[in-house]
Amino acid sequence: MDILNIEYEKYKLKNGLEVILYKDGSLPLAAANIWYKVGSANERKGKTGIAHLFEHMMFQGSENVPKEMHFKYIQEAGGSLNGSTSFDRTNYFEKVPANFLELVLWLESDRMGGLIPALTHEKLDNQKSVVSNERLERYDNQPYGLAWELIIQNLFPEGHPYSWSTIGSLEDISSYTLEDVSVFFKTYYSPSNASLVIAGDFETVRTKEMMEKYFGSIKANGNVNKLTVPQPQLKENMSIIHKDDVQLERIYLSWHSDKAYGADDASLDILSDILTGSKNSRLYKDLVFEKEVAQDVSAFQFSGRYGGFFTISATAKPGVQLNNLKSEIVNELADLEKNGVTEKELLKSKNGIKSSFIYSLQNLDSLADQINSYNFFLNEPNSFNFDLKRYEEVGNENIKSASEKYFSKPYVELHVVPK
């Protein structure tokens, strides 16, 4: 069986829930992966962080499942589970021995259809405290922890759905009421706003019967209004200096780039890998090894449904000026724009990306999540070959074109310096 050309069945329940079935009987395991089409992009200023807070609330028990028991039931069955929130979506996933698939479907359906009756002030206050502490740990009290927020606040215009972080502000998190949480659930946690992938070792007819049994009677809340987001542009370079509790200075440079699966998305992924993806990559070799002016350097292309951005960051060695690092980075980008990359660099990067991609799909959890991701972005769960082909077709001219198109535009420059 070619893992990059999967056979699947996709259908909808009467309430609008998308179901995607992918059979793989090679191991006696089953994975369930549900995407709710809501993330922090669906929030608004003054009401940030609720999508992520709600992810936590979904593990606090539902109508027929006591608090903490969702975790306990799955773990006692020998399974694993978690959830995550991004700008664009919230997902929940479980992997269990195949004979426990019904348990998973019951648990997921109970919180999809019966979370509201189980909500309490105590649970909400508890999770507001958990998320606030997470915010302090990962952002406010973490060295360089506010860099991401500062970049997106300045890169995207006020009100753009990517202009605030997924975790939200402390003020907003502490302000949420039971009514806020209930309204959010009723708006977005509808079967008609979700897709559920079941992958692994299961019996198709029986699984469809269970889907109808557990999810069929859950009422849909109507259609969620789709966001209309204009492509953002910076009119001029923006320079920010942030004083932090750090020992070494760090520079970040961020440009608007392409959205997920856009024409330049794959080229920019390859470009980031050629710049900093290994110890032999251009910027890493130049700044860290040869000139020894940087402690570390990294680049990445973020792409979402409503936009993307390309970021390069470098931590200076003691005594090195950040402007020196900037000059080196800018010179390298100018060279890329003029000369592109070598065939050897392109081949190495493509092979590395393909290898990592295929390796990740050996895990049933990752495979199920990727199927859901393709369904969300491309409306085609079997997009593995299409995805890899995007990278295979990138040539030197694509790299030069993407470099010229994005790196010649205004950018956000952030310096994080010791207090």
Six-digit token pair at 148?
A: 């991401």
Amino acid at 206: R
In whole angstroms, what is the distance from residue 245 CA to residue 139 CA?
12
Rounded to an integer, what distance in angstroms lies between the CA atom of residue 276 and that of residue 295?
Answer: 13
Taking 3-state DSSP, the helix, strand and coil percentages for the chain, each rounded to the nearest 5, stand at 45, 20, 35
Exposed / middle / buried, residue 174 (Cβ in 10 Å: 0-12, 13-18, 19+): middle
pLDDT in tens, the chain (419 residues): 465 899 999 999 999 999 999 999 999 999 999 999 999 999 999 999 999 999 999 999 999 999 999 999 999 999 999 999 999 999 999 999 999 999 999 999 999 999 999 999 999 999 999 999 999 999 999 999 999 999 999 999 999 999 999 999 999 999 999 999 999 999 999 999 999 999 999 999 999 999 999 999 999 987 788 888 888 899 999 999 999 999 999 999 999 999 999 999 999 999 999 999 999 999 999 999 999 999 999 999 999 999 999 999 999 999 999 999 999 999 999 999 999 999 999 999 999 999 999 999 999 999 999 999 999 999 999 999 999 999 999 999 999 999 999 999 999 999 999 99
Q: What is the pLDDT of residue 1?
A: 43
CB of 79 closer than 8 Å to CB of 100: yes
Name every residue whose Cβ is closer than 8 Å to that of residue 209 and which is 6 or more positions away in sequence: none
Q: Quick one: pLDDT at residue 222?
A: 75
Q: Which helix (H) or strand (E) holds 349?
A: helix 343-360
* CA 128 remoteness from chain centre: 22
Q: Is the dihedral of CA 85, 86, 89, 91 positive or negative?
A: negative
Q: What pLDDT score does 3 carry?
A: 58
The Cα 382–Cα 4 span in angstroms is 8
Strands (E), 38-117: 80-85, 90-97
- Kindly list the structural domains of the chain, giving each domain's residue range(s) and its CATH number in brackets, ordered by start: 9-215 (3.30.830.10), 238-418 (3.30.830.10)
Which pair of structure tokens corresponds to residue 13? Answer: 């329940």
